[in-house]
Amino acid sequence: MKEENKISRRKAIGSLGLGLAAVAATPVFDASARTGAFSVAADGLVDPTTKYPRPPFQHVNAPWPALTSEMNPKPDHGETTYKGSGRLAGRKALITGGDSGMGRAAAIAYAREGADVAINYLPREEPDAREVVELIKKAGRKAVAIPGDIRDESFCKRLVDEAAKSLGGLDILVSNAARQQTHDSIMDITSEQFDWTIKTNIYAPFWIIKAALPYLKPGSSIIGTTSVQATDPSGNLYDYAQTKAATTNYVKSLAKQLGPKGIRVNGVAPGPIWTPLQMGGGSTPEKLKEFGKETPLGRPGQPAELASIYVQLAANDASFSTGQIYGAAGGSGQP
């Protein structure tokens, strides 16, 4: 090789190296604008221990069901952080409890992934629901708001029929709504309170799934929100914990039943997540102050951190996942 060719080759390789270094050092877009409440390091990494607020928190007394607007700090549902990529284009989803918490995060993510979304919520939660509807519409998708109490069997049937009619079909069902109230002793739980929890957390999914099945075609997905309480129950959540054990089991049982029909059934099992569920009696003021501190990450999770799980379980590329429980508990709990 001639000397001038060697020199030219060195220059070319050197220029290539400088170019690659420049690409690596230059962000594709403004990271701070993308992530909102947290910052991205130069190498693209985000420290999960400092990504979101850590305890201690200030307890805010709020009647059940509490509203997102009553929380301090405000939860992140992905309003400014979730970016879609068309993974659910053309899909039709119904989400119970879609006004707040994990249901709200799933609704935002589904819309930004291309799905039309119907949400159910209690009438008192209308302010939260209106915000979600606007976010769905802003993503360019159809939004359907259906308030009502899922403890009523006839309403559950109307809910599904109205969602399917308004959306033009139904192929994703997220059974997420739940009631959680803390009681130090079983003696403090009245039969009325016990019935309220059982009706909301066990009967309602039974009624809603039955009503939805005639609409669900092969490729459809049912997703239940269970909890680490199903396998590691707290002493003060006697009734709630057993309903989540039931949720885990119906997911596994129904997956076997519906698998041959091409309908997948999976569950999401969060640990301590910063939602209105905690503010409206789901936790005591003392425990709320240190909420999430016991996790290895030292903080509670945010609803936005579960959004991608709900998307994955509904997406076509998760076609071999059924009967599975996906955990998100900051390093503690099961599964």
Residues assigned a catalytic role: 240
How long a stretch of residues is the chain? 335
Q: Is the Cβ–Cβ distance between 330 and 301 less than 8 Å?
A: yes
Q: Which residues contact 225 (CB under 8 A, 6 or more apart)?
A: 97, 102, 103, 174, 175, 176, 178, 247, 267, 268, 270
Q: Which residues face 170 on adjacent strands?
A: none
Q: Are strands 221-225 and 143-147 parallel, antiparallel or unpaired?
A: unpaired
Q: Are strands 264-270 and 221-225 parallel, antiparallel or unpaired?
A: parallel
Q: CA nearest 84: which of 57, 54, 105, 111?
A: 111
Q: CA nearest 166: which of 147, 149, 142?
A: 142
Q: CA nearest 243: which of 273, 206, 289?
A: 206
Q: Pick left, alpha or beta for residue 122 (phi over 0 → left; psi -120 to 50 → alpha; otherwise beta).
A: beta
| Residue 274 CA: distances (Å) to CA of 55, 87, 126, 159 | 11, 26, 20, 27
**Cα–Cα distance for residue pair 88/113, rounded to 1 Å:** 5
Q: What is the 3-state secondary structure (H, E, C) of 180-221?
A: CCCCCCHHHCCHHHHHHHHHHHHHHHHHHHHHHHHHCCCCCE
**Coil, helix or strand at residue 315:** coil
| Residue 35 CA: distances (Å) to CA of 7, 29, 62 | 45, 11, 29
| Residue 156 CA: distances (Å) to CA of 99, 122, 194, 220 | 17, 13, 20, 19
